[in-house]
Amino acid sequence: MLVYGLFLLSWHEYKNIHVIPGLIIVGSFAVPFSVLILFYEINTPKNVSIVRVIQMLVLGGALSILISLVLFAVTPLLGILGPSAAGIIEEVGKLITLLIALRMVPMERYRYRINALLFGAAVGAGFAAFESAGYALRIGMGNASAMLDNITMRGAMSPFGHIVWTAIASSAYWIARKEHQDFISTIKSSKFLLLFSVPVGLHCIWNLPFAGPFMIKFWVLGFVAWVVVFSLIQTALKEIGELTADDKTPLPMSNPTPDPSA
């Protein structure tokens, strides 16, 4: 936020076009990255490196946008549902990205549900930031003031959108796959479909052409999303405690303290 403030001050004072890329990049990534750090800190096993998180953020964000664009092009949903089609297409696109990414990491190391929340949040944060940068660039080509307003608005709304939606979607797959042997049976399971329908439904409603007074629609949707996320976090932390207890073994007594009375 400090870096964005410096770019904003430079723009207001000198109107130099070279400041625009910094405004767009930093302005679009500042809040999503901050929310992602929250998920990183909540990952109490600390078994995911910050390098892995950045990979998921950048590569996952870029790949999920590409997959979503392909799905928009090859499916008729946009013409049928309008903007709400993004709720299905983009959530599926981000989930496919996660599944591809998970094939490239050692799954035996990332066995906790809390890891799923972190990976989902990383891909969602990347998608949100790159999408916001795209909107800012398109709007800024016509009106710089409107571009800054868009960056501020999307930054303020980003904690309630793609980041938490993808965290929920990732958890849905993580939870369901433990009871099924293959990908097809996992995504067809009621446990997966029920939880995955939450981000899809929230996203579809988010894109409907109404906001209500004081943009209440977005605040309500964001509240619901975070209630679900905090519930998943509590369940994930409980799972860590159970797994840790199951794995606990007595410490070796290789160098016991001598008994002075011996």
**Predicted TM-score (pTM) above 0.95:** no
Q: What angle do CA 93, 99, 184 make, to 5 degrees?
A: 95
Does residue 262 form part of some domain? no
Q: Give the C-alpha separation, 92 to 73, whole Å.
A: 14
* pLDDT reading at 258 higher than 70: no
Q: Give the C-alpha separation, 23 to 4, whole Å.
A: 6
- Name the nearest CA neighbour of 53 among 35, 77, 32, 36: 36
DSSP 132-155: HHHHHHHHHTT-HHHHHHHHHHHH
Average confidence (pLDDT) over 5-24: 95
Does residue 261 form part of some domain? no
Does residue 248 form part of some domain? no
Does residue 257 form part of some domain? no
Q: Give the pLDDT confidence score for residue 246 in this predicted structure.
A: 64
Tokens matching residue 16: 């130099």
Does residue 256 form part of some domain? no
Average confidence (pLDDT) over 181-191: 90
Does residue 246 form part of some domain? no
- Alpha carbon separation from 243 to 42, 116, 129, 238, 246 (Å, rounded): 17, 16, 35, 9, 5
pLDDT category, 90, cuts 50, 70, 90? very high
Q: How many domains does the chain have?
A: 1
What is the percent of the chain where pLDDT is above 90?
A: 82
Q: Give the pLDDT confidence score for residue 102 in this predicted structure.
A: 80
Does residue 182 form part of some domain? yes
Q: Give the pLDDT confidence score for residue 256 in this predicted structure.
A: 43
Does residue 159 form part of some domain? yes
- pLDDT digits over 51-87, tens only? 999 999 999 999 999 999 999 999 999 999 999 999 9
Q: Taken in order 197, 202, 208, 213, is the CA torsion positive or negative?
A: positive
Tokens matching residue 136: 């800012």
Q: Give the C-alpha separation, 202 to 227, whole Å.
A: 13
Other CB atoms within 10 Å distance of the CB of residue 185: 13
pLDDT category, 244, cuts 50, 70, 90? confident
- pLDDT digits over 145-160, tens only? 999 999 999 999 999 9
Q: Which residues have a Cβ under 8 Å from the Cβ of 234 and sit 6 or more positions away?
A: none
Q: Which domain holds residue 38?
A: 2-240
